Structure 1
Amino acid sequence: MPDASDFPYARLYAQGAVLGLILPAALASAAQEPDPVTLDRIEVSATRLQHVAPFDVPASFDRIVLDGSEARPGISVSEALSGLPGLAVRERQNFAQDTQLSIRGFGARSTFGVRGLRLYVDGIPATMPDGQGQVSHVVMAGAERIEVLRGPFSALHGNSSGGVVQVFSAEGEAPARGHLQASAGRDATRVLSASLRGAGDTLGYALAAGHFDTDGWREHSAARRSWLNLKLHADLPGDGRLQLVGNHFDAPDALDPLGLDWEQVQADPRQATSVAYQYDTRKSARQDQLGLRWEQPLSGGHAVEAMLYGGRRAIEQFLSVPVGAQANPLSSGGVIDLDNDYGGLDLRWRWAGSLAGRTVEFTAGGNADRQRQHRRGYENFDGSTLGVRGALRRDEHNRVDNRDLYAQAWWQLAERWSLLAGARRSQLRFVSRDAYVTAANPDDSGRVDYARTTPVLGLSFAATPDWRVYASAGRGFETPTFNELGYRADGGAGLAFDLAPVTSRNLELGTKWRNGSGLRVDAALFRVDSEDELAVARNVGGRSSYRNVGRSRRDGAELAATLPLAEAWSLRLAWTWLDARFRDAFPVCTGAGCTDPSVLVAAGSAIPGTARQQGHLRLQWQPREWTFAVEASGSSAVAVSDTGARRAPGHVLAHLEAARAWNTAHGRMRGFARVDNLFDRAHVGSVIVNEGNGRYYEPGAGRGLTLGLRWDWRAGAD
């Protein structure tokens, strides 16, 4: 397999990173009379700043506006995030599993869901207190923007804050407006979406819905999903606002083709593993939640905010755990039945004023969240019939509580200097009550507490009106999730309450440059040193157990640029270099059924699931009502296990888009077409890190065409 250094144009990209750091200075000094850039003062929700432009924040921050001009079906958040530096977004061609998402290597080792990151949808956490999250319930039909924060200031969001992703749906506003969109693509994929929003003098509403259905690119991967999102608001006296958000998600019986080994990938990447048919592997997920948010400005620059939310997520999943493995009296069976009830509140006070004659903004608050989990396990057989719910093998009630306090301040301490500082104190308690106790399966109940304080500090220098240089540093931590606490590394009964949280020291040096013509350059260098890194200890009988394995380091560089080339032409590019490695050696198990961790992972081995380099390029031409675009995206090789013995090869893919808009008496009609993987390149789209049977690979889709039609209307439009 190719080495990471074989990624095309590696040297050119490295030179580009250096260019990104020196380009703003060169352009600023070359300009005879630079025009100052006027920046909108918009809220940076990820750093809880309301009166500070993102340009002035000493952090890597991206804001993606979703305005309906995308030539995409609108199924997943990954469609919007694929062109950002520092992010690895991998669709799995497996809708029984959630999107794989990692930021600067955080979350790369997750085999299901999203962990190591903080996720929010309309201000409501999509990451549970234990650090496990998902984005499948996001209603892209109603999404208006996405904010992504990378670097040290992510730690202000508490546990598992390797990065922050926030999705915001559109607000109700007058006049009334809405959209209808339909698209169709390969493998009988059909997507329908609609939205409706409006507002009166004091009340507003926004409703969005979507439905997705596919036979799946791989065999045994058919799926369907439905989404519904309702957002209501009431304007209060004194510019206050009360907002209610309701969300529904349903994904019944999504078939799971499972991963493939390398020989299977080469023979037929569209096949499903034989045991996927044998046990009819599948997953059903359903989620409902409500959130209430209140904002009220007060006199003297003061304001208060409060948020209250609650919801339930239910999962039933049929696994391919062999019948023989379930003979172990400690086995949890092969069917997961999981009910998650969750809720919480956040109270916040902010003040904007002056300190020593300079602008200052201060925020302080606290939040409390609770996750109640009822986990049951059943055998995935009944007599000789496989793939059905059998006898009960696990029954436990788990709870996670967190209590956090946080404070931060932004201060314009001099004409060209600004400071952003903050800290968060997090306290978490994990409690498990075992209700399945037999003579051969003892009581696994227990409790563990974690607590950390995570300070952050950043300094920004305005070299010119359109150029910023900044540095930031902070500490963070990441507790084990309940999935990682589920089994002890020694194979004994009980949960792995001896696991310690991963702690990290995070440094970043960056620069930002803008000009009045729309040119934008962002570049950053970063280093993250972690201790007590978590890694898989062994995989036995469908059970993955974890251990702390010592130190790790993530060094990296990011470059992003938007370049207006000529009238109607633009170029966007993003590049990431990441060197993520274990710094200490540790023993692991290899092979199915291994119980003896006798294989040594050498110090300096790559952290699995991370790519050394990633790149994305988009060239767009927009003559009047037409839009044409060509994209290229690539990744270097990815290690699939701690030992690094096997890797998913690197790849470069090309994509094409075309769209045409028409203004009519009844609104704006837009048709679009997109060809993904234009040259039909065989590639591995995602990997299942440390998969116990060696089935690490989830092949990416071949060439495919998507056609769509969107109608946007507005009341009173001619």
Structure 2
Amino acid sequence: MLNLKPHSYMRNRRTLTNSRNRNFFKVTAGAMLIGCVSTSALAVDEKSIEEIAVIATRLAQPVSDLSSNVSVLGESALSKLAPVHIQQALSQVPGVSLQRGNGQESLPAIRSAVQTGAGACGSVLVLEEGIPVRGAGSCNVNELFDTHFEQASRIEVVRGANSSFYGSNALNGSVNIVLPASGTNRLAIEAGPNQYWRAKAAVSYKLGDSGVMSTLERNAGRFYVTLADDGGYRENAGYQQEKFSWRHQLDFSRWEWELGATITQLDQQTAGFIVGLDSYRDPVLAKQNLDPEAFRRSDSARLWVSATRHSDRGNKLRSTVYARDTEMQFLQHFLPGDPLEQNAQRGIGWQSVYYVEASTALNWALGVDGELNDSSLRQSQAQPTLGSAFLQATIPVGTHYDYQVDSEQLAIFTHLDWQWAERWRLLTGARLETMRYDYDNLTLTGRTRDDGTACGFGGCRYSRPADRNDRFTNLSPRMEMRFQANQQWRWSLTLSDSFRSPQATELYRLQRDQVVADLDVVNARTIEVSTRYESANTQFELSLFDIDTQNVIVRDGDFFNVDGQRTQSRGVEFALQHQFNAQWQARLIGSLAEHTYASDQRVGDVNLNGNQVDTAPNAFGSAFLGWLVSDKLSLESELQTMGDYYTDPENNSRYPGHTLLHLRGSYQLSDRWRVSLRALNLTDRRYAERADFTSFTNERYFPGMPRSLYAELAMEF
């Protein structure tokens, strides 16, 4: 078992980062920016690349050959968006209703309600270059900010179940961030409202012009640096963020090697919810920060090496090994007493697949994945709890949780691609995966204070279970049958079973009288019918889905973590793009769905069975109109709509939704220089990025930004 002990490492530091480390990172990044200019002669010419994706089978495939539930945001679209927050990019994908929190925080939602709570992050698998950003049992709901999406050439999204190449945490969908190892050298500086600025650099190099390295067929790479500083729209809020990535490729004989690394740092001053019915409509209240002491600091580092060997028969062996180190601390301003959470994880993993080209009509793959992860979590409170006598007596100062979890994940999977008739194609596979946790409680067991004394009202809120081991095993099959009606139309029927293992926080972060969380795997069974049309000027996709999510884990009325609940999701997603002529293009994406509770679950006197799941909009989407004014000037408008949704499970409180207008433009000043402008929320609509309801605060919101203008000056060299 891996024993990297991130807990002891973290406990020896007062904070996850300090000013010396941050200054070192900034100086290093600045030196790289200067170095970028001096290496311009090594730039690799950017080539026209066919639109591809690797998220389905870990091998590059044309997007037109993928399932209809796969969406790809390419380099052109991402360049126009220049997303400040990952939500601005993923909102371009049908079926994705990710909600933006304050700063760089977010809550995931793909073909589902917006996910909250301890296991929320288990609903969407977050990848960079096909490698999980966090351990499967210790993910974080905000982990998308640990990816280098700002400089991605592609963002690949699977809506619903993925192929058998992916397992736990890909319950409702997957997101993969891709940065290429080659391209034109670029430097950009950007400014926006509230003292926002961002600098980006991407520089390619080529090695091996002489000496031993000259025998290599390809030996090149690329560096990426992104520095951002946001003064914050709201009071006492903002963030500073630094990201560095490296990609390298080399070929030798029959081996293709890919090496990469990503390092990120986030130092955020967080603004919490504003409270009061429709408070987001008030421009003064919208800037208010009721939690000025809230913050989040996060550091992450990932390193990986992939090797692919080709045989004479066309078969391939691909193996990847990776290492990961993540540390985070943040003030939980959304909980009574504002406790501090410190978490960390270190891990190593591997992915191995053997691809067999049995014939021109039959391909299959067999793979083994594994991961060893060592994580820790500590929750403590420095100041006495304010509020009622009950809260003051049951939420004490001191340590609430302090534990370490060693986890082992092992999976074997197979995938078959069979063109069994001229127009018929079968894609099927299955994955058998096991997850084991070894939990070690590092403080007193039970629901006492950290000194062993009892709390009033029957005991403290937080309960610490005794040391234990847990194991979860799941078999997930998938089958897709395709019919190619003609060169334009394709139809598909997909049956799939996706899953997630319980997260460590669901098992070991208990409350009240609960001493053991007897939980099992969450499953989502999906039936999907889809069609895809493609002609010279028009592309159209339509998917109808029915998802039965079983054994859902919830916190019940006794504050126990329990499973056995169900939800039902039925809906339709569509994407349409049409090129009218060389100057005009239109796009339309949308989702219509209903997400309901499908089992008996009581909140007070209300049985939720049949109610709509809260924070699950029935309709959302965007309409785009693009105009290529000249060979130098391009414009695009976007009308973005978010439908209404309930903010409480009883379906008594509702957010009315909103519609926003955005305008983006780009002007090519010369062969090397380009200026871009983005006007977001052009009509200055007062809206909420997230609306919620609790019995303690009633209505509460994360307010949206007012009209905002961003300008970017970019240079290629």
Q: Same fold (TM over 0.5)?
A: yes
Q: The residue matched to 1:301 in structure 2 has which SS?
A: coil
Task: Identify the match of residue 678 of structure 1 among 682, 686, 694.
Answer: 682
Note the alpha carbon deviations across 1:121-161, whole angstroms, 9 max, x for none: 01221242127341102223431111112234356411121
Corresponding position: 1:121 with 2:128:
yes
The equivalent residue for 1:508 is 528
In the TM superposition, 1:63-82 aligns within 5 A as 63-67=72-76, 70-82=79-91
Higher relative contact order (CA 8 A, sep 6+): 1
Corresponding position: 1:350 with 2:343:
no
Task: Identify the match of residue 164 of structure 1 among 163, 170, 174.
Answer: 174
User: 4+ runs of 1 displaced by more than 6 Å?
Assistant: none
Corresponding position: 1:492 with 2:513:
yes
Corresponding position: 1:467 with 2:489:
yes
Note the alpha carbon deviations across 1:292-345, whole angstroms, 9 max, x for none: 1111112212111111111211111123378xx66xxxxxx8111111112211
Ranges in structure 2 where 5+ consecutive residues have no aligned partner: 1-48, 209-217, 387-395, 445-450, 454-462
Q: The residue matched to 2:55 in structure 1 has which SS?
A: helix
The equivalent residue for 1:380 is 382
CA 1:42/1:561 → structure 2, altered by over 3 Å: closer, same or farther? Answer: closer
The equivalent residue for 1:631 is 638
Q: The residue matched to 1:55 in structure 2 has which SS?
A: helix
Task: Identify the match of residue 265 of structure 2 among 250, 261, 271.
Answer: 250
In the TM superposition, 1:403-552 aligns within 5 A as 403-437=410-444, 439-440=452-453, 444-488=466-510, 491-492=512-513, 494=515, 496-517=516-537, 519-537=538-556, 546-548=561-563, 550-552=565-567
The equivalent residue for 2:288 is 272
The equivalent residue for 2:371 is 369
- For the 8 Å contact 1:229–1:248, the answer to whether it is kept is yes
Task: Identify the match of residue 653 of structure 2 among 621, 638, 646.
Answer: 646
Corresponding position: 1:702 with 2:712:
no
Q: The residue matched to 1:115 in structure 2 has which SS?
A: helix
Q: Shift of the alpha carbon at 1:565?
A: 1.8
The equivalent residue for 2:204 is 197
Q: The residue matched to 1:47 in structure 2 has which SS?
A: coil
- For the 8 Å contact 1:193–1:210, the answer to whether it is kept is yes
Q: The residue matched to 2:88 in structure 1 has which SS?
A: helix
Note the alpha carbon deviations across 1:10-39, whole angstroms, 9 max, x for none: xxxxxxxxxxxxxxxxxxxxxxxxxxxxxx
The equivalent residue for 2:327 is 314
TM superposition score normalised by structure 1:
0.82
CA 1:263/1:619 → structure 2, altered by over 3 Å: closer, same or farther? Answer: closer
Letter paired with 1:308: V
Corresponding position: 1:136 with 2:155:
no
- For the 8 Å contact 2:234–2:271, the answer to whether it is kept is no
CA 1:477/1:107 → structure 2, altered by over 3 Å: closer, same or farther? Answer: farther
The equivalent residue for 1:48 is 57
Note the alpha carbon deviations across 1:577-627, whole angstroms, 9 max, x for none: 110000123123xxxxxxxxx332331111122110011111000122101
Corresponding position: 1:149 with 2:154:
no
Task: Identify the match of residue 620 of structure 1 among 612, 615, 626.
Answer: 626
Letter paired with 1:341: R
Q: Distance in 1 between matches of 2:478 and 2:78?
A: 37
- For the 8 Å contact 1:503–1:532, the answer to whether it is kept is yes
Q: Distance in 1 between matches of 2:601 and 2:78?
A: 49
Letter paired with 2:64: F
Q: Distance in 1 between matches of 2:199 and 2:468?
A: 47
Letter paired with 2:431: R
Q: The residue matched to 2:162 in structure 1 has which SS?
A: helix
Q: The residue matched to 1:484 in structure 2 has which SS?
A: helix
CA 1:403/1:107 → structure 2, altered by over 3 Å: closer, same or farther? Answer: farther
Superposed CA RMSD? 2.7
CA 1:616/1:269 → structure 2, altered by over 3 Å: closer, same or farther? Answer: farther
Q: Shift of the alpha carbon at 1:410?
A: 0.5
Q: The residue matched to 2:505 in structure 1 has which SS?
A: helix
Q: Distance in 1 between matches of 2:499 and 2:619?
A: 25
- For the 8 Å contact 1:507–1:526, the answer to whether it is kept is yes
Task: Identify the match of residue 232 of structure 2 among 192, 216, 219.
Answer: 216
Note the alpha carbon deviations across 1:357-409, whole angstroms, 9 max, x for none: x512211101111221121222233999xxxx984443211233211111101
Q: Distance in 1 between matches of 2:322 and 2:68?
A: 29
- For the 8 Å contact 2:272–2:334, the answer to whether it is kept is no
Task: Identify the match of residue 184 of structure 1 among 172, 179, 191.
Answer: 191
Task: Identify the match of residue 301 of structure 2 among 271, 288, 294.
Answer: 288
Q: The residue matched to 2:286 in structure 1 has which SS?
A: coil
Q: The residue matched to 1:219 in structure 2 has which SS?
A: coil
TM superposition score normalised by structure 2:
0.83
- For the 8 Å contact 2:271–2:289, the answer to whether it is kept is no
- For the 8 Å contact 1:636–1:649, the answer to whether it is kept is yes
Letter paired with 2:614: P
Note the alpha carbon deviations across 1:528-557, whole angstroms, 9 max, x for none: 012222234359xxxx75332522100010
The equivalent residue for 1:15 is none
The equivalent residue for 1:661 is 668
Q: Shift of the alpha carbon at 1:416?
A: 0.7
Q: The residue matched to 2:237 in structure 1 has which SS?
A: coil
Q: Shift of the alpha carbon at 1:53?
A: 3.8
Q: Distance in 1 between matches of 2:190 and 2:575?
A: 30
Q: Shift of the alpha carbon at 1:435?
A: 1.0
The equivalent residue for 1:591 is none
Note the alpha carbon deviations across 1:191-224, whole angstroms, 9 max, x for none: 1111101324532111001111112112232111
Q: The residue matched to 1:102 in structure 2 has which SS?
A: coil
Q: How many residues align?
A: 631
Q: The residue matched to 1:70 in structure 2 has which SS?
A: helix
Q: Distance in 2 between matches of 1:692 and 1:342?
A: 39
The equivalent residue for 1:561 is 576
The equivalent residue for 2:277 is 262
